[in-house]
Structure formats: structure tokens, C-alpha cells
Amino acid sequence: MALPQPPPPPPAGACDPVTPEHWASGPPSQAQPLLRQEAKEEEEGEETGVQGAWGTGTAEQRRRGWGEAAESAAAEEGQAEVGGAAAAGSGSPAGGAGGGRGGWWRILAWLQRQQPQCCPCAAPLPRSAAHCCHGGTKMAALAYNLGKREINHYFSVRSAKVLALVAVLLLAACHLASRRYRGNDSCEYLLSSGRFLGEKVWQPHSCMMHKYKISEAKNCLVDKHIAFIGDSRIRQLFYSFVKIINPQFKEEGNKHENIPFEDKTASVKVDFLWHPEVNGSMKQCIKVWTEDSIAKPHVIVAGAATWSIKIHNGSSEALSQYKMNITSIAPLLEKLAKTSDVYWVLQDPVYEDLLSENRKMITNEKIDAYNEAAVSILNSSTRNSKSNVKMFSVSKLIAQETIMESLDGLHLPESSRETSAMILMNVYCNKILKPVDGSCCQPRPPLTLIQKLAACFFTSCIIGYLIFYIIHRNAHRKNKPCTDLESGEEKKNIINTPVSSLEILLQSFCKLGLIMAYFYMCDRANLFMKENKFYTHSSFFIPIIYILVLGVFYNENTKETKVLNREQTDEWKGWMQLVILIYHISGASTFLPVYMHIRVLVAAYLFQTGYGHFSYFWIKGDFGIHRVCQVLFRLNFLVVVLCIVMDRPYQFYYFVPLVTVWFMVIYVTLALWPQIIQKKANGNCFWHFGLLLKLGFLLLFICFLAYSQGAFEKIFSLWPLSKCFELKGNVYEWWFRWRLDRYVVFHGMLFAFIYLALQKRQILSEGKGEPLFSNKISNFLLFISVVSFLTYSIWASSCKNKAECNELHPSVSVVQILAFILIRNIPGYARSVYSSFFAWFGKISLELFICQYHIWLAADTRGILVLIPGNPMLNIIVSTFIFVCVAHEISQITNDLAQIIIPKDNSSLLKRLACIAAFFCGLLILSSIQDKSKH
């Protein structure tokens, strides 16, 4: 069927061109009769229930614009046949309802009726002027708004959270089944599988490998004896293992003899015993250790095969003899494995092209045959249970990637040997030292008393809410509207009662309990896997570009055009938080220029803390206890819960203590006598000098604490402050974190004071589209800001080390922050728009920052959570989706609980504060009992 032809365009000169100024007071006069006619048709359609040209819905909804007004019409009429199968597959649930073409025919007919006489489509139009655009623009607006509204309707935040919950349940079930089927021993993964993340970075399957330092290795191996038995390849592994303990140990001496090593400071003894073949000599050496009177090595690493292939020219008789010899040795190794850790090293592949003539018989085919024999015999040495002799097969995978770098085709390059030695160190030492970033071979940490009580509390809340829900539902069924059989109409028995505070409280703690169970599963229960981070420039900068494009795409007009308005600060916090998240998951802290710029972003958060709280107290003059309690609750609620559930100190989540302390500093500074607020200062300029004097004393106090570490540590080492600010037994970490951004909050307060003073005197032009200052001053300040911004970036990129950069950072970070604020706010058009994409994340930035520790990253931010193994990209997408949904839900829970726990009535609030104080006292007592039991 042919589409109807549009009416001919109006003749040239039919109307005067319309300029944007004409739209200031409404649509052009030519369009007014049409608009009045449309409004009349809308009202008639609404009254009669007939779908008009604007579609169904309320009159107010239809008056908002073409895209929104046409939404319900297009949804009811289903999929359009424009564009063929691609358009038909767009997936609207309403696609099958009604005639597929009818809705679009009505849209086209409407477009033909509403062709404007003239249209300034090139100019940005207000919503009321949307009726005067050409048909093509109308169709584009319809397509955009229809698609956007359809997505929002069928995929809201609520449905996203339901999908995230389903994903968590499915993934947990899959991982639980995998653990049951494949076993729960991560040591097997460490010894048998993995991949290279980079040239020299080995990633075991599903767990994290710790890189041991000299002190850690000695601490683990104190009073231990390790024995390496085998050929030249085992000797190489021995040297690499010893160099972890003593890097100065040299590879020298007769290669075909025993090599001893001893570190007397740690009483560590490591021996290499030269037994190149699996024969009677090796058997006798192992047999001696099985006697009760002989001291046995704590760790035995054995393996050999290449000499047997070489000496016997790769004959099948040699393989048969190898099988017989290893069969006789297997019971001895199994007996030793009951009291010692025994590892049999499978043979690595060779690079046949580089082998010398006397080694040409050592082929990969022969090596595979010997390995198969060793595995089958050693694994079948015990009939009724699993063999205690562990197969060290991961070196084969490492060699397959690196053997091409071998000098002779037989022996591995040094980097590969170091990786194998570090794997051995992880296998033995992780269960002893329990490093945070070494999840391989670590048992699940036992539940503490506080964690058990928290589990009981959340379980009680879940049960209580279920009981409350069942009772409420039964009452609702009894009061359900009944049908009047005579009239066929429903009669309501009662009006729905409002939701009680108790129900909100139980529901919030119920949801929080389920979320905390997910936190625990991710980072404490060893249910999900973890992997090490690995930094590449692409892993950091490509996601940055991606989110930048999304942020620019989703832009809207601001409700107000003031400097640092609410939408703009939310946007600022949002993009900063996303950059920080990418920085953390990519491990970009190893790249110094990125590290320094991220330090500026953290400082910018604190700058906003100083700016925001100072502005509130200065303008509102509200120093009441309710305001203080609300801010402290919103900042600390999630962190306190995580400290209890995840058994972590308060200082571990360093940013929240930092913001909390600075908020209290701002409050005390402004609340102390004399209280100086804007209303009082407007009456007498003398009060401005009084406030500046207060800020001056604050700066002196900051400088004193920054350069007097002893005084700072004495203050925060006092009980009970020490329980909040100690980490690993001291407050040095807290002092370092506080000192790193010591001036930026003061800068934020000072900036707020200057800005509000200029605004009060109407020196700034903050109208829509207007530059902040006169053109000359604005251009000059923009030039200075851009130069300053780039200068800081150049300096940050040229720093030699972190210590040098961190020393200068507190004094210079404000330069880039102020430069960004001026660049963002001086142009009127930049101040008039904001990114709704970034602003959405900015509203939950605190929850995102805290939640990343355990459900996006892993091992307390040291690694990456692996929900979907084997596919890093899909894993990041799924884990990020769940992580964002959880953060958003926690934000809503915190807001709901804040309204209940922190009431506005002072008498009720004081009672709640007494209960909260009692709770923390009980927590301190339990923590002390817990610490004593550990010691």
C-alpha cells in the first residue's frame, strides 16, 4: 500500500522567517490556531475516551510534547513496518496488540495536517515550539522519545534490581554446584591451571597469587627444611626458590652434585639432591626419610624424566623401566605425604628446534608419555582415597608460553622459573601467613562472635518481616473489595492504611541482611572466585573514553544556572566516582601519572565537602543536633554495618572516616562562639572579618597537626578513638591519609565564602546562557584556568616517585580543582547543561565507593571478583551490573532508615542517640572480648 503524499510546501515568501526571539513569548502567530485546534481535540478525546491524534493519557501528559504524547498511541498500535524486519524486532511487549499499521498511519496523517508554515528548526526550540518542526524532525523526535520511554517503562531500576537478584541466585547456585563437583580446594587450581595476563604475570585459575617478599618468605619458612630431588630442571626450580629467600644467592658450583642452602637468621634449610633418573638411587634417598628415626623435610619437590629419555635414546624399554621404578617409589611418596607436603613436578615441554644433537631424542611426544605414566601411577597409588602426592603440572602451561625464549630448548627462561617457585611458595605459605591478596590455598576465615550476632539479627529481621508480610496480606485479603452481584460494581470495605514505621524498618533490615549475605559470599566465603589485577593502558583509558561518550550523550538542561548547582555537583561526583572505579579495577595505581590525577579526584571530593557543608551552615544557620546526626548517619551507616559483617576496622574504609572528621571540623569551626552566619554578616561587614579570623585559626591548627605527627597520634590513640582510627595496631595510616589532603577542605570552605560574598553583591552573572563575568574577564580567567590545568597535568606526569609527588600534592591539588570549576562554570552554555548519566551515579557515589571493596573488587580491593570465569569482559559486565544495583538499593535503604532512626523531634532523637550509644558500647565490649580470645 502506498503511503499518503505530504502536502506541497508553502510558496517562497509565504511567511517571514521566524527568529529564535519570536519564540520567547510562545509559538508564531501562524501556529496559534492549529495549537488551539489541537488542544480542543485533545480535550474532546479525553472526555469521550476516544484516542485522538495525540494518543491516550491525561491532558497534562499530552501537553508536554510530541514525543511523550505519542508514546501510548505508538505502544498500543504495536511495531511499525517501517524499516522491515529490523523495526519489527525492536521488542516492545505491546507489539502484538492492535493493527500494526493503523497507529503509524494516524501519525503520518497527523504530520501532514500539522506541517508548519515556517520553522526555525536550526535553532534550539523550547518544548512549546516543538509543534512547528518539519515532519522529519517530528519523526526523529518521536523515535528518540518513544525508544527512551519504552526502555524506561519496561526496564526500570526496579526491574534491573530483580534481574540482578536472579543473576546472583543463578551464579551462586552454579558456583556451589561447581565446588561440589570439582572440589573446594583452590590449591588444585594453583597447581594445575592458569594463564598469562601479561608477559611475566601469571594468573592462576579462580584465585589470587601473592608475591612474597624476603621477610614474608623467611617468616613463613622459619625452622623449615625443604628438599628438591631431581635433574637439572629441578635444580633450576631450586635456585629460583632460594632467591626468594636470599636474592644474592648465586648459581655456581658443580651442577651434577648436591647443593645445600641455609639461612641461619630464619633457620631455613633448602637442599637440592642430584638424582636425574627415577631409579634405585632416588628410591633409596626417599626411603631413608620414611624411617621414624630420621627427620623428614617439611616440603619435598621431586621430578625427573629427560635423562632417562636421553641416555636410552627414547626407547620404549626405558619408558617401561620408568613405569616400574615410579611404581616402586609411589608408596614411599604416599607415606611421606601423610606428614610432609610432597609435590611431583611433571616434565615441561621442549623447543625441539633449539635442542642440540645429543638431545634431539627428547621430543614432546616422549615427554607426554612419561607424564601420563607418572600421573596414572601416582594417582592410583591409593585405592580407597585421593592421593596425597600433589601433581605440580602448572609448570607445563607456563613452559608452553615461554619455552621459545629458552637458550638451549630444554631449560626454561628465568622468568618462568621464578613464576613456578612463587607458586610453590604460595602453596605452602598462604595457609600460614594468610595474605589478603593470596586467596589460593587459604581456608575460609572462621566467624567471629560479632559476625554470628549480626547473622542472628538479620535472620530475625527477615523472619519478622515475613511474619509481618503474611499477616498484612491476610488482612488485605479479608478487606478485599467485593463485587455487588446486583449492580456488578466493586465496593471497597476499607481504605488502605499507610505503611507503618515498623514495616519500613523490618523491610529495610530484611533487604540489608540479604545484601550483606551477598557481600559475605563474595569476599569471605570462598564461594566466588578472585583474580589478580593487571594494569595496561588500554584497560584504563578505553573504559574512560566509553563512559565519557555516554556522559556527553545523556545531557539535559539544569534547573538552575548557579555555580556548582546541585545537578552539576552530582555530575561532578558521578564522573569522578566512575573514573576512580576504573582506576581501582584496572590496577592503575602502578602508573604514576594516573595515580596523581586520581589523588586530585579524591581531593575534589573533600573540596566539595568543605564547600557544601560551609554553604549550608553559612546560609541556613542550622547548627541543630538533627542536622549533625543525619549527616553522620548517612555517611557512616553502611561502613559500620560492613565493619561488623566483614570483620574489618573502621579505618579500613578510610574515605568515610576522613569525610566524617572533616565534617565535624567544619561544624565545630562554625558552631563555636561567636556563631557567624550570612544573615548576621549582611547587617555588619565586621562579621566577615570575624569569620576569616576563624578560618585563619583553623588553618594554623591544620598546619600544627600536619607537622606534628606525635601530637596527631596522641590525639587519635586515645580510647575509644583508637578503636576507630587504628589499622594494624597504629594510627600511622590514618595520619598519612589525613595529611595527604590536609588543606583541600579549608580551600573548599574559603571558596564557598568568597563565592557567596560575590553572589550576594551581585558581581556574578548567573543567568541562563550568560558568562559568569564580563567577556574580557571571562576569557582571561578561562585562559589562566586551561593553562593551570595543563600545567598540573604536566607536573603530575613528570614526577619521579610517589613520595615526592605526595609531598607537594596537598599544596598544589587545589590548582587543578579551581581550574576545573572555572572552566565548567564561566561559559553560560556550559553552566546551563549537565550530564544526567553522571549525575545519576553521583547520587550514589558514596555507596559505590564503599561497596566496591567487597562485591566488585575482591580480597579487600586487592583483586577482582570473578562471577563468570573464563570470560573477563562478560564477568566485568555482569559484576558491574549487580554492583550498581546493590549500591542503589543500599542508598535507598539508608535514606529510609535515616527518616526513622533520626527523627526531627529532639526528645525522640535524644532517646535514639542513647540507644545508639549503648549499641556502640556493647560493640566495643564485644570487640575487646574478641581481641583477647584471638591473643
583 contact partners, CB below 8 Å, separation of at least 6: 540, 589, 594, 598
Across the strands, what pairs with 303?
230
- Per-residue burial over 129-151, b if 16 or more Cβ lie within 10 Å, else e, is bbbbbebeebbebbeebbeebbe
Whether 496 is covered by a domain: the verdict is no
Residue 53 confidence (pLDDT) = 31
Q: Are residues 429 and 532 in the same domain?
A: no
- Per-residue pLDDT band for 146 (boundaries 50, 70, 90) equals low
Grid cell at residue 863 = 583483586
With a pLDDT cut of 90, the percent of the chain lying above it is 65
Q: What number is the average pLDDT over the span 729-741?
A: 93
What's the Cα-to-Cα distance from 229 to each of 105, 273, 318, rounded to whole Å?
Answer: 85, 5, 20
- Asked if residue 864 lies in contact with residue 857, where contact means CB atoms within 8 angstroms, the answer is yes
**Residue 216 pLDDT greater than 80, yes or no:** yes
- Per-residue pLDDT band for 28 (boundaries 50, 70, 90) equals very low
560 contact partners, CB below 8 Å, separation of at least 6: 566
Residue 550 confidence (pLDDT) = 94
**Residue 156 pLDDT greater than 50, yes or no:** yes
Residue 551: alpha-carbon gap to chain centroid: 18
- Asked if residue 347 lies in contact with residue 371, where contact means CB atoms within 8 angstroms, the answer is yes
Residue 294 confidence (pLDDT) = 78
Q: Are residues 678 and 543 in the same domain?
A: yes
Between 94 and 323, where is the model more confident? 323
Whether 916 is covered by a domain: the verdict is no
Q: What number is the average pLDDT over the span 450-463?
A: 95
Residue 186 confidence (pLDDT) = 79
Lowest mean pLDDT among 469-483, 515-529, 553-567, 668-682: 469-483
CA angle, residues 853, 856, 861, in degrees to nearest 5: 35
Q: Are residues 395 and 532 in the same domain?
A: no
Which of 147-156, 764-773, 875-884 has the highest mean predicted lDDT (pLDDT)?
Answer: 875-884
Task: State the chain's mean pLDDT as an integer.
Answer: 83
Q: Are residues 560 and 411 in the same domain?
A: no
Of 376, 408, 433, which residue constitutes the final position of a domain? 433
Report the amino acid identity of residue 427.
V
- Per-residue burial over 714-750, b if 16 or more Cβ lie within 10 Å, else e, is eebeeeeebbbbbbeeebebbbebbbbbbbbbbbbbb
N-term to C-term CA, the chain: 86
The pairing of beta strand 202-204 with beta strand 194-196? antiparallel
Residue 21 buriedness (CB in 10 A; 0-12 / 13-18 / 19+): exposed
- Per-residue pLDDT band for 860 (boundaries 50, 70, 90) equals confident
Residue 185 confidence (pLDDT) = 74
Between 54 and 265, where is the model more confident? 265
Whether 224 is covered by a domain: the verdict is yes
- Asked if residue 53 lies in contact with residue 156, where contact means CB atoms within 8 angstroms, the answer is no
Q: What number is the average pLDDT over the span 87-97?
A: 36
**Residue 30 pLDDT greater than 70, yes or no:** no
Residue 379 confidence (pLDDT) = 86
Residue 930 confidence (pLDDT) = 83
Residue 382 confidence (pLDDT) = 62
CA angle, residues 880, 885, 889, in degrees to nearest 5: 150
CA angle, residues 209, 441, 726, in degrees to nearest 5: 70
Crossing angle, helix 280-289 and helix 316-336, to 10 degrees? 0
Between 294 and 28, where is the model more confident? 294
Across the strands, what pairs with 342?
300
Residues labelled catalytic: 232, 408, 411
Grid cell at residue 560 = 538552575
Q: Are residues 413 and 557 in the same domain?
A: no
pLDDT digits (tens, 9 = 90+) for 345-404: 999 999 999 999 999 999 999 999 999 999 999 988 665 567 789 999 999 999 998 999
Whether 857 is covered by a domain: the verdict is yes
d(CA 746, CA 609): 10
Q: Are residues 597 and 725 in the same domain?
A: yes
Residue 138 confidence (pLDDT) = 59
Report DSSP letters for 309-344, one per residue: HHHTTT-HHHHHHHHHHHHHHHHHHHHHTTTSEEEE
Residue 75 confidence (pLDDT) = 37
> What's the structural domain count of the chain?
2
**Residue 150 pLDDT greater than 90, yes or no:** no
Residue 52 confidence (pLDDT) = 33
Grid cell at residue 189 = 587450581
Q: Are residues 391 and 263 in the same domain?
A: yes
What is the pTM for the complete model shown? 0.81
Whether 452 is covered by a domain: the verdict is no
Q: Are residues 357 and 238 in the same domain?
A: yes
With a pLDDT cut of 70, the percent of the chain lying above it is 80
Which of 72-86, 99-113, 381-395, 797-811 has the highest mean predicted lDDT (pLDDT)?
Answer: 797-811
Q: What is the CATH number of the domain that holds 277?
A: 3.40.50.1110
- Per-residue pLDDT band for 47 (boundaries 50, 70, 90) equals very low
Lowest mean pLDDT among 253-257, 381-385, 517-521: 381-385
- CA dihedral of 493, 499, 500, 506, whole degrees rounded to 10: 130
Residue 145 confidence (pLDDT) = 63
Strands annotated E in 676-816: none
**Residue 889 pLDDT greater than 80, yes or no:** yes
Q: Are residues 847 and 714 in the same domain?
A: yes
pLDDT digits (tens, 9 = 90+) for 640-694: 999 999 999 999 999 999 999 999 999 999 999 999 999 999 888 889 999 999 9
Report DSSP letters for 477-498, one per residue: HHT--EE-TTT--EE-SSPPPP
- Per-residue pLDDT band for 733 (boundaries 50, 70, 90) equals very high
Q: What number is the average pLDDT over the span 684-713?
A: 93
Between 34 and 634, where is the model more confident? 634
Q: What number is the average pLDDT over the span 904-929?
A: 92
Whether 168 is covered by a domain: the verdict is no
Q: Are residues 367 and 225 in the same domain?
A: yes
Whether 28 is covered by a domain: the verdict is no
For residue 326, give the nearest of 270, 256, 275 by alpha carbon: 275
CA angle, residues 483, 486, 491, in degrees to nearest 5: 30
Across the strands, what pairs with 730?
727
Q: What number is the average pLDDT over the span 690-700?
A: 95
**Residue 65 pLDDT greater than 50, yes or no:** no
Helix, strand, or coil here: 827?
Answer: coil
pLDDT digits (tens, 9 = 90+) for 3-20: 444 444 444 444 343 333
For residue 635, give the nearest of 845, 914, 888 by alpha carbon: 845
d(CA 568, CA 824): 9
294 contact partners, CB below 8 Å, separation of at least 6: 288
For residue 859, give the nearest of 428, 434, 420, 518 by alpha carbon: 434
Residue 487 confidence (pLDDT) = 46
Residue 92 confidence (pLDDT) = 35
Backbone φ and ψ of 169, nearest 5°: -65, -45
DSSP state of 727: B
Lowest mean pLDDT among 133-142, 379-388, 823-832, 894-903: 133-142
Residue 293 confidence (pLDDT) = 72
Between 826 and 128, where is the model more confident? 826
Residue 381 confidence (pLDDT) = 65
Residue 291 confidence (pLDDT) = 84
Q: Are residues 429 and 533 in the same domain?
A: no
d(CA 202, CA 532): 9
Whether 347 is covered by a domain: the verdict is yes
Of 433, 449, 466, which residue constitutes the final position of a domain? 433
Residue 136 confidence (pLDDT) = 59
What's the Cα-to-Cα distance from 801 to each of 260, 596, 804, 807, rounded to whole Å?
Answer: 40, 10, 6, 10
Helix, strand, or coil here: 531?
Answer: strand
Of 399, 433, 467, which residue constitutes the final position of a domain? 433
Between 35 and 728, where is the model more confident? 728
d(CA 585, CA 547): 15
What is the span of the domain harbouring residue 415? Answer: 190-433
Lowest mean pLDDT among 150-154, 195-199, 513-517, 780-784: 150-154
Lowest mean pLDDT among 13-22, 108-117, 296-305, 847-856: 13-22
d(CA 1, CA 570): 51
Q: What number is the average pLDDT over the span 65-74?
A: 37
Q: Are residues 413 and 548 in the same domain?
A: no
- Asked if residue 789 lies in contact with residue 820, where contact means CB atoms within 8 angstroms, the answer is yes
Residue 255 confidence (pLDDT) = 79
Residue 139: HSE in the Cβ half-sphere, 13 Å Cα cutoff: 14
